[in-house]
Amino acid sequence: MVNIVENTQLKRNIGFVVATSIVIGTVIGSGIFMKPGIVLASSGGSTMALWAWIIGGIITLASGLTIAEVSVKIPKTGGLYAYLEEVYGKFWGFLCGWMQTIIYGPAVIGALGLYFGSLVADLVGLSETGKLFVSVSSVLFLFILNAIGTNLGGFIQSLLTVAKLVPIAMIAVFGIWHGDSHITGMSSGNSQSISMGAAVLATLWAYDGWMNVGFIAGEMKNPSKTLPKAIITGIAVVMIAYLSVNVALLHVLPASKIVELGPNAAHTAASILFGDIGGKLIAIGILISIFGCLNGKIMTFPRIPFAMAEDRLFPGAKWLSKVHPKFQTPLYASLFETVLAILFMLVGNPDRLSDIAIFVVFLFYGLAFYAVFLIRKKEDGRQNSLYKVPLYPLTPIVAIVGTLYIVGSTLVDKPIDSFLSILVALAGVPLYKYLTRRMQP
């Protein structure tokens, strides 16, 4: 289904430091600033909220280590849907790519755009209409930027990756140092809809992005050693950063106040710690972090429908597979994802979009985690891999159980959104049959 390039053609020049920075850079985005209030409200209190962040981190770590083995044993480009196609067949690869294109990608871009607009509106005092205008404009601006050339988008991405760590470090260090509020045992003030599953789901939005970790295995100097070390170190750093920020927020603001402030809690805490001007500077740092994450998604997600269209496995393949003659970018695929994202932004709030995105992608993550058992069974004991997941089979089992927990909790807590997402997936079945039938001579 996808254009396949063997990783042996890639130059092995990525070491431990670069690999670890890629892990951290692709995971940290908006979630750590946007989700603490949601996690607190869903879990019911500060102690369970901190446990939700820990559980989300453990699921993420187990997931990353498991996918790393799958990616090394299936050295092909194309990401998640390439793995599923290899193990389960072309249909499952198509269905994964279909859902990533129609729901996951646009929902992630839409949520990030709305979070960005919300913080800008709070910073400069805009109305709801102004907030939406900023949100949509930011997505359109980055679409144009990446349509002009990937090099420009890549340069901006590298620049913003470093900048995003500044507000995290400032809030974590000074919040823990100067705060005086209780951290554990504090009620969120929310007596309705208490669900640990919903709390963990919210943390997984903050941890999302780890799937990119295994894609660089073919470019590492020594993947059998570098890959697991980079994953463990990178995700551990992210977990520590996330827990530190949450402890700092709870040390500065009451749990109920964090819930009340929602996405503006980090900005408010920064204003308390550093004064009005310092708070605004930290808020700008947070905006840079979200903007950088948004740029990365707009740059990479269109490659999924583009690759599918090249193999004529997507409606409008003739247009979506076109590369702009001057800029050498997948212009129409990028435009398609951008339009879908804007439509999502017009009808949904960012928290709802982020939950839908995580639910959809975890439907297919579970299949990818189970694939490691099928691959090992096929190997029949042969040691022909550069990397094997540590603590097998415990690690992939943790990843699978975590997936089932998230999918099951979402089905219970958000049945309408879950049903609509599954409906879209089912709509891909007749579409796949039509497209493959049309390809037959």
Q: Which residue has the higher pLDDT, 402 or 308?
A: 402
Distance, CA of 299 to CA of 147 (rounded, Å): 9
Distance of CA 79 to the CA centre of its chain: 14
Cα distance between residue 31 and residue 14, in whole Å: 27
Instruction: In whole angstroms, give the CA distance from residue 224 to residue 378.
Output: 20
Question: To which residue do tokens 């929310």 refer?
Answer: 190
Q: Which amino acid is at 67?
A: I
Report the alpha-carbon angle 110-318-111, nearest 5. Answer: 5
Peptide bond into 393 cis (omega under 30): yes
* pLDDT surpasses 70 at 298: yes
pLDDT band at 151 (very low <50, low <70, confident <90, very high): low
The C-alpha atoms of residue 184 and residue 96 are separated, in whole angstroms, by: 40
Give the DSSP letter string of 42-95: HHSBHHHHHHHHHHHHHHHHHHHHHHHHHHHHS--SSTHHHHHHHHH-HHHHHH
* CA 173 to chain centroid: 25
Least confident of 72-86, 151-165, 228-242, 271-285: 151-165
- Which pLDDT value is given to residue 413? 85
Nearest 5°: the CA angle 114, 120, 124 is 145
- pLDDT tens for 55-99 read 999 999 999 889 888 877 876 656 787 789 889 988 998 999 899
User: What domains are defined for the chain?
Assistant: 16-435 (1.20.1740.10)
The tens digit of pLDDT for each residue in 325-381 reads 776 777 888 889 999 999 999 988 888 898 899 999 998 999 999 999 999 888 776
Q: Cα(362)–Cα(382) distance, rounded to whole angstroms?
A: 30
Cross-strand bridge partners of residue 14? 220
pTM for this entry: 0.82
